[in-house]
Structure 1
Amino acid sequence: MATFGSTTFDPTLSVLQSLGAAARRMDLLAAGVSRRRLAAAVAEGRVVLAGHGVYYALPGADPMAIHLATHQGVKACFSVAAARGLWCIRDPETPHIAVAHGRSVPGCVVHRHKGPLGLLDVLRQCIRCGTEVEALAVVESAVVLKETSISTLRAAFTGLGGAAGRRILDMLDPQSMSIIETVARYHLRRAGYSVHSQVAVRGMGHLDLMVEGILGIELDGEAYHNNAKAFEEDLRRGNVLVIRGIPTLRITGAMVLFHPEVMLGWVRAALETYRSAQG
């Protein structure tokens, strides 16, 4: 029997998967599934009725997929961004969905939207719905990961309705290496500091951030610093920074994302200490 996630090809299953594992009968028919084939899939247990006789789902489908189908919705905004691997500071606690009817849906944040939901639609929703730094992280990652381009975004964010998008683009750095670099850079610049990313240091490589042309910042993401080889490389980089006379703070990704005020306090204190020592 073909089930959710099965590799066995069946047109009905394929269409259902493309629609999010659950869908209304009218949407399946509109996508080319015949009534006869749909009835056969139900009779053979390859598709199940999900409610009211007009909603269908793959066996084992996520209950949220069925919930969305019964309310004629699809995932949207930060929920789609996270699913696509774009940079989200945190997964939304409440699912964000798009519906054409615009009515409230229990347990969801609703965005009114008609037609297919493309990447630009998702980015616009994130800009409208999230904080400035949350929107920057998502939009910047779309460019860094080559999901879109700055020129495409500039063309999309025109007119009065695109003002918020243009503000995000003005902060964007397509050379960013990670969400923690993007978020750290944002908070430091908001605090009034001059910040440069990926600064070349002879014999060391690239320093994540340089503040005021004085203070280096190395950002430690757990995924990149949790084995012996990475630990040895961190020691080497740190030693080269000492040799080059670059005072450097090491700051964890969790602090940058969730406690930026602590990072800013350390930066302020470090700069004061350095400047005092210089007379």
Structure 2
Amino acid sequence: MSETAVHVRGLVKRYGGRRVVDGLDLDIAHGEVFALLGPNGAGKTTSVEILEGYRTRDGGSVRVLGEDPGTAGRVWRGRIGIVAQSAGDASELTVREVLRHFAAVYPRRRDPETVIEQVGLGDHAGKRIGRLSGGQRRRVDVALGIIGDPDLLFLDEPTTGFDPQARVRFWQLIRRLSAEGTTILLTTHYLDEVEALADRVAVIDRGRLKAVGDPATLGGRADAGAVVTWREGGRLMEVQTPDPDRFVAELVRKNSGDVPDLSVRRPSLEDTYLRMIGGHGDSDHVIGGHEESGRRRQEAV
């Protein structure tokens, strides 16, 4: 078995004369939870759809679970699970009926009743999907993504519409899947979700890799200066320092132990991410970037 579940070198995708993905290199280890971040239009969705085998590439090499997703067959598709950003509805069927139907087409499958409980739909198993709330429908999407017991699971904004309790339950499920050896590729705008789940994070912008690392050290985050604030003489003071422990100790000595409104804040993952992308890209959507998303799960096997 290859050491990596996903191996990408020099990936290129063009729309017209524009390189939406521009020489991307990426490696994801087996069993890793890997988060892919980037502003809208950065090339995330296009890259992921190429890895899933639903979009052709214009250059570079790609191996996913040891095969080229552009030519891989039915057996390979049975080894991946997809939770797309938007998915088709079977509104007249119940949750249980949909899960049982999709379970039947996979060569390897999880028990539908167990999956229904794992995604928090045990009380709604007999309810028609068309009568579920948006968050509950999203849980159905997650259930369908894992029903085939995939070796590699693609999660595209999986917790959109989830209430806080449902998100925590989803995080527990992802940790369990990872512990069982499932490789997970996650795209999300919730950076707390990334910090809670991801072993490593990659940031792409304008189709290029900006940084890759674990959430705590991404982009030099661990070595960045901390911001110390305190009140002195009725004024709120602020200093950025690479050695906050020493600076605070000096403040404590100077103030005989009482430092009003003292706080120390290190750069968050959000701070680091926004610095790397320069705060741009919120509206620069890729042409055609989601045109197949609604069909991907139905065609997965």
Instruction: Check whether TM > 0.5.
Output: no
Normalising by structure 1, we get a TM-score of 0.25
Larger Rg: 1
Normalising by structure 2, we get a TM-score of 0.24
Bigger share in strand: 2
Bigger share in helix: 1
Higher RCO, 1 vs 2 (CA within 8 Å, ≥6 residues apart): 2
